[in-house]
Amino acid sequence: MQFPENFTWGTATSSYQIEGGHDEGGKGPSIWDAFCEIPGRIAGGDDGKVACDHFHKFREDVALMASLGLRAYRFSISWPRILPTGRLDRGSMNEEGIRFYSKLIDTLLEHGIEPWVTLYHWDLPLALQTERDGWLNPEIADDFEAYARICFEAFGDRVKHWITLNEPWVVAILGYGQGVFAPGRTSTTEPYVAAHHLLRSHAKAVQCYRNEFAHQGGKIGITNNCDWREPLTDKPEDKDAAQRALEFYLGWFADPIFRSGDYPESMRERVGDRLPKFTEEESKALLGSSDFFGLNHYTTMFAAEASSDGKEGSVYGNGGISEDQDVDLSVDPEWPLTEFKWAVVPWGCRKLLGWIAERYGDPAIYITENGCAMDDQVSADGSVDDQDRLEFYRGYLEACHQAIGDGVHLKGYFAWSLMDNFEWASGYRFRFGLVHVDPKSLKRTPKKSAHWYSKVVRTNALGDE
């Protein structure tokens, strides 16, 4: 496989999952700090108070990245580390937090690693949730713009790739619909309201960057998550169901930005008045508000028209709210599964990339997350027999290469994750990292897959084999 010479190879993390230092350096509490205190919410009673201790060990972590040959690193900034209350009108910005990220960025650049910065990866300042209902409040768009402006001013001279939001689908569905992620709310209406204000917030931050910081010469976009939906059969109703599932999943957030300035028509028809409406000004601000298409992709499922036997949705969850989209999801029992029980289906990645290219006018696409949780077998000498993970990356990178051959403008790939970390409600049970981390001893051991990935990065980045 030969990838383009300027293809971006990197790895990714998020602040709450790795930083620790939850009450150090002037940081305020986040909704995840609070959520982890609720008994029964997190497997094993785990939390992110220490996590991978990146707050204290970031120089060591950057050295690990350099040893793997990484050319780019996607990380997120913790909003409450910059603004402890979430708002400038309730307190000043935290200079210690700004210094921390500034030192991290400088260290990355010293090692020849390009920083890709995500402004929001789910750790909302707790005060914004308790005092203003978080993403349910229309005013949060102004709060997010003010926070983004601080980051552009502080780091934009060195950061040339910005991502406003990571996976707003997860924030809306898991945080406000199913209640399994912070802030832990359950509703059939609130996910649509939260998603609406997430999109408005994205648009405001992008307008701010383009109007006030264009001289910095950077690019700004958004990252959405989506799994491929393959029709279960050739029946027209199953094909329609698969398309509808993708529209409720990815189209929900991508259509307003890359296609029409509004939600998919299938959502308007099925959700009705529960789906908010954009003003003409908001729609205009959203359309074209991303310089690239960020995609987090992990797995594939079959989609079929929902059965009429009285069942409520599907056992596998949904690509929006299952009752609204009327889609049943399933997997082939022959597909291999990760420890997260996600099916390994590389050809689904290729199909999804093609679907995005066709629907959204062939944008520049970056896979900003792709990876797998595997139960590694660590030997006494610290080496890891990591063949399943090797096979996963080999398969998905082959699918990416095939998509490029299909004409898809795939420009980069970020492996999830640099290190084993706090995996949200699952605690520390699953290992996604290229580097093994024991959260009790904070021992960092590069895996065999990390060395293999290092080889891929170094050769393909040069346009070789």
Q: What is the pLDDT of residues 396-426, one digit of tens each?
A: 999 999 999 999 999 999 999 999 999 999 9
Q: Which residues contact 113 (CB under 8 A, 6 or more apart)?
A: 10, 62, 65, 66, 70, 71, 72, 73
Q: Which amino acid is at 378?
A: V
- Written as six digits, the tokens of 414 are 């970020």
State residue 449's pLDDT score.
55
Which of 123-132, 164-173, 319-328 shows the lowest mean pLDDT across its residues?
319-328
- Cβ contact 259:383 at 8 Å: no
What pLDDT is stored for residue 448 in this prediction? 59
Does 465 appear as a known binding residue?
no
Query: Contact at 8 Å (CB) between 170 and 176?
Result: no
> Residue 178 carries which DSSP code?
B
* Domain extent for 165: 8-461
Q: Is residue 2 part of a domain?
A: no
Average pLDDT in the 100-121 region?
A: 98
pLDDT at res. 451:
53
Number of domains in the chain: 1
pLDDT in tens, 211-266: 999 999 999 999 999 999 999 999 999 999 999 999 999 999 999 999 999 999 99
- Look at residue 460 in the predicted model and tell me its pLDDT: 37
416 a known binding residue? Answer: yes
Q: In 289-331, which ranges are E strands?
A: 293-296, 300-305, 327-330
Name the residue type at position 265. E
**423 annotated binding-site participant:** yes
Whether 304 maps to a domain, the answer reads: yes
CA 421/CA 47 separation, integer angstroms = 10
Rounded mean pLDDT of the chain? 92
Intra-chain end-to-end CA distance of the chain, in Å: 6
Tell whether residue 298 is among the known ligand binding residues.
yes
* 261 vs 254: CA distance, rounded Å: 9
Q: CB of 80 within 8 A of CB of 31?
A: no
- Considering the chain, what percentage of its residues have pLDDT values greater than 90? 85
To the question of whether residue 312 is assigned a binding role by annotation, the answer is: no
Structural domain contains residue 214:
yes
Per the domain annotation, does 1 fall within a domain?
no
Report the catalytic residues: 167, 369
Q: CA-to-CA distance for 152 and 428, rounded, in angstroms?
A: 33
Asked whether residue 366 is assigned to any structural domain, the reply reads yes
Q: Which of the four pLDDT bands, split at 50, 70 and 90, describes residue 139?
A: very high
In a domain, 270, yes or no: yes
pLDDT (tens digit, 9 = 90+) per residue, 3-39?
999 999 999 999 999 999 999 999 999 999 999 999 9
- How many other CB atoms are found less than 10 A from the CB of residue 133? 18
Q: Is 424 annotated as a binding residue?
A: yes
Here the CATH number for the domain that contains residue 438 is 3.20.20.80
Could you read off the pLDDT of 145-157 as tens digits, one per residue?
999 999 999 999 9
- What is the Cβ-side half-sphere exposure of residue 205, based on CA atoms within 13 angstroms? 31
Domain membership of residue 298 (yes or no) is: yes
